[in-house]
Copies of this chain bind each other. A is one copy, B any other.
């Protein structure tokens, strides 16, 4: 006998949680499609030489390699031929480069699949997790206007996910670079080091960071340090306030100027797309991956749960697939790490307890009536209602209890009396209510009840 168990670092769900998770995936997908993004799926395995174009680094240390029994038996030296994807960006780059001549640009794709990382074992860290990504990829060039669509998608997704108030935080790498240059921090690596110190503001406090930056290691002028600290503390409180912060930066150097112009255009179009100004803000401390993003950058946080961190991040990059094609492919994208988000929401008690996917249980009072029960189920299913039938005899109370525990709201009872009258009794377990309808009216009545329940549950 072998103990049934899953590997460490995976999140396997029982059906009620799986239903809730699936509804989140559906909501995300529906909204991605609402904004005109097209579905892509790629194989979980990529050729190792295609996947690992960058040498070394954290990523490569976390890759899972795949070997068939045959390859393993040969005990081949060297790196296996196949490996599991560790994100959806490298597969996107490979996909776009491989199918370049069959795609229309700007290419708008969404992809929602699992990725794999051999993370250190730790609570809340997953070795297998869903990423839900959208990207727009241009050929040669891509207008900054596309950068404005992504906050609108983020707003639509998280409004419908209904997990509380959130803020989409915007910054621009060019603006940041320009500002730092003006403070005498021109070297990109030095900028990265300064930003790493700035990141410690919350944990170590302002004095610590100020002393570090003005101290021996960095040797920045005290007024430069003061200006940098003022800069990274900027959070806008309204659309007008965001524009005022941009104006206050003045003309500055070319990079700053370009970054300001881009952010201004993005803000105006985000507003035109109907995103309420309470849902977005400038945050000049946001940098994201410094060697990757080059323009707009995004992070999204839950207002009441800042400790969860960013629940949706991304930005603008210069060239997606330089390892695979000579074509220049600039893009902008965002990613939601849904497995981790789901786990965090559940930990925070924010996960919605979902109704079952089963909407109606047809109970069984008398074995002899099973064909009747099946025929009723057939009518309900034809009307689009998810229906389960009790197939084996059991006490009626036990059948009700099962429905209640499983989160099935409506129960259909077909007893002798009802049969004689051509009627059916419907029990609403939520409202602890029951009523009788004719069999001819049953499907339509339940459709109306379910539609009402749906409206009420989404307010």
Contacts and interface: CB of A to CB of B under 8 A. Distances in A.
Interface of A: 1-7, 10, 12-15, 18-19, 21-22, 33-36, 38-47, 49-50, 53, 60-70, 72, 79-82, 84, 93-95, 97-99, 102-104, 106, 108-109, 114, 116, 118, 128, 143, 145-146, 149, 152, 156, 268-269, 272-274, 321, 323-326, 356-358, 361, 370-371, 374-375, 377-378, 381-382, 384-389, 391-392, 402, 405-406
Given A18-B39, A402-B104, A64 B66 contact: yes
A61 to B, nearest CB: 5
Contacts of A268: 371
7 contacts: A3-B50, A5-B94, A7-B82, A14-B99, A19-B39, A34-B386, A145-B391
A419 B116 CA distance: 51
B273 A7 contact: no
Contact of A69 (B35, B63, B149): B63
Contacts of A357: 33, 38-39
A274 B67 contact: no
Contacts of A81: 7
A97 B326 CA distance: 52
Contacts of A384: 34
Given A33-B386, A386-B36, A42 B12 contact: yes
A35 B378 contact: no
A296 B250 CA distance: 78
Nearest to A387: B36
B5 A47 contact: yes
A129 to B, nearest CB: 10
A223 to B, nearest CB: 40
Contacts of A15: 38-40, 103, 109
A143 B405 CA distance: 22
B406 A12 contact: no
A406 B38 CA distance: 10
A67 B104 CA distance: 38
Given A7-B81, A33-B357, A66-B84, 11 more contacts: A2-B324, A7-B46, A14-B102, A14-B103, A33-B386, A67-B80, A104-B402, A106-B392, A152-B378, A269-B374, A273-B378
Given A7-B43, A34-B381, A68-B62, A104 B405 contact: yes
A290 B97 CA distance: 47
Nearest to A94: B4
Q: Which of A35, A66, A272 has its CB near the most chain B CB atoms (within 10 A)?
A: A66
Top 7 A-B residue pairs of the complex, sorted by shortest distance between their CB atoms? A36-B388, A68-B118, A272-B371, A274-B378, A4-B98, A4-B324, A10-B43
A118 B70 contact: yes
Contacts of A34: 381, 384-387
A384 B33 CA distance: 10
Contacts of A84: 66
A44 B128 contact: yes
B38 A375 contact: no
B374 A323 contact: no
A44 B339 CA distance: 14
Contacts of A3: 50, 324
A32 B212 CA distance: 61
Contacts of A13: 41
Nearest to A6: B43
Given A4-B97, A68-B62, A374-B273, A389 B45 contact: no
A22 to B, nearest CB: 5
Q: Which of A4, A7, A389 has its CB near the most chain B CB atoms (within 10 A)?
A: A4
